[in-house]
Amino acid sequence: MIDMIEKEEPIISEEEAAQYDRQIRLWGLDAQKRLRGSRVLLVGLGGLGAEVAKNLILAGVKGLTLLDHEQVTEESCRAQFLVPVTARGQNRAQASLERAQYLNPMVEVRAYPDRPEDKPDDFFLQFDAVCLTGCSRDLMVRVDQLCSQRNIKVFCGDVYGYYGYMFSDLGKEHHYALRIFCSLKEALEVDWTSEKAKASLKRTPVDYFLLHVLLKFRTDKGRDPDPQSFAEDSQLLRQIRDDVLESLAVSGDLLSDDFVSYCFSEMSPVCAVVGGVLGQEVVKALSQRDAPHRNFFFFDGRKGNGVVDYFGPN
């Protein structure tokens, strides 16, 4: 890894050793040093974003950049714990900055209020890992394509009510050489008409199709399902479900109506679970330790179970 050789070997101070003691005892000093030399971009400071921010800041990365163009609303205050209740109307990234920094003064935390769509390619290339939450499908595909070529680790994740997922693309040259990752585009564009795909449908978590529905909703409406518009959004969700399943050439029975009323807003405990898994995947990738999940993790907060599954060109 050329990037790592060029970097100066980080030193863990006695202060850091004392604070990180319990995690150094788990993943070792070398892993902690690699974290100490890593810069991460986090897009989206909703419920899931705040959890990931917390986890990465506590882990002791070199720097975490927060990027979010959204404003703090009443809903944001309910969803996450970094934003002060007095910050209504402020930019969500900037409003989260102070509390995020307090979590660990030894990490360089920055916040920018811009739209990720407006950021030039260069912006994304300054990081060792990027983590996208609350982003449109198009943006995620673009950033993934751009970054994975340069060996920058890409992670995506969202929480919709009781449901959540994370996706990772660690590129072709990841340290754990046995594992090959594919792009998000390839992962989402699996051809379900092939015999092989049809055969594997039975074992496929329905969450994968649910993800397609919710990403389409986000693209079409420019937002996620809103409890304030429950009636219309529910109707739209059912419609999108029909359209998506048809376009993927899979049975409409795969996803019953049931999911509709459980995918509104971001449920805190689900953010905690998905944010925990996602945070740990980022730590694993940056520290080059332990086998990464490949390439999706789906969590169903109603049932209480979480599965790892691979989607991509077979």
User: Interhelix angle for 268-287 vs 29-36, to 10°?
Assistant: 100
Instruction: Tell me the number of residues near another protein by CB under 8 A.
Output: 70
Q: Any contact of residue 309 with another protein (CB under 8 A)?
A: yes
Question: Cβ closer to another protein: 196 or 303?
Answer: 303
Q: Any contact of residue 71 with another protein (CB under 8 A)?
A: no
What is the DSSP secondary-structure string of the chain? -HHHHHSPPP---HHHHHHSHHHHHHH-HHHHHHHHT-EEEEE--SHHHHHHHHHHHHHT-SEEEEE--PBP-HHHHHH-SSS-GGGTTSBHHHHHHHHHHHH-TTSEEEEE-S-GGGS-HHHHTT-SEEEEES--HHHHHHHHHHHHHTT-EEEEEEEEBTEEEEEEE--TT-SSTT-----HHHHHT--TTSHHHHHHGGGS-THHHHHHHHHHHHHHHSS---GGGHHHHHHHHHHHHHHHHHHTT--GGGS-GGGGGG-SSB-HHHHHHHHHHHHHHHHHHHHT-SPPP-SEEEEETTTTEEEEE--S--
Q: Rounded to the nearest whole angstrom, what is the least distance from the CB of residue 266 to another protein in the complex?
A: 7
Q: Rounded to the nearest whole angstrom, what is the least distance from the CB of residue 306 to another protein in the complex?
A: 3
Of the residues 43, 79, 95, 244, which one makes contact with another protein according to CB under 8 A: 79
Span of 49-57, 113-121, 125-133, 184-192 interacting with another protein by CB under 8 A: 49-57
Q: Any contact of residue 59 with another protein (CB under 8 A)?
A: yes
Q: Any contact of residue 51 with another protein (CB under 8 A)?
A: yes
Q: Any contact of residue 76 with another protein (CB under 8 A)?
A: no
Q: Rounded to the nearest whole angstrom, what is the least distance from the CB of residue 112 to another protein in the complex?
A: 22
Of the residues 73, 193, 194, 305, which one makes contact with another protein according to CB under 8 A: 305
Which of positions 11-30 make contact with another protein (CB under 8 A)? 12, 14, 17-26, 29
Q: Any contact of residue 262 with another protein (CB under 8 A)?
A: yes
Of the residues 65, 91, 265, 287, which one makes contact with another protein according to CB under 8 A: 265
Q: Any contact of residue 95 with another protein (CB under 8 A)?
A: no
* Binding-site ranges for another protein (CB under 8 A): 12, 14, 17-26, 29, 47, 51, 54-55, 58-60, 75, 77-85, 99, 102-105, 161-162, 227, 230-231, 234, 261-262, 264-273, 275-277, 279-280, 283, 293, 297, 299, 301, 303-309
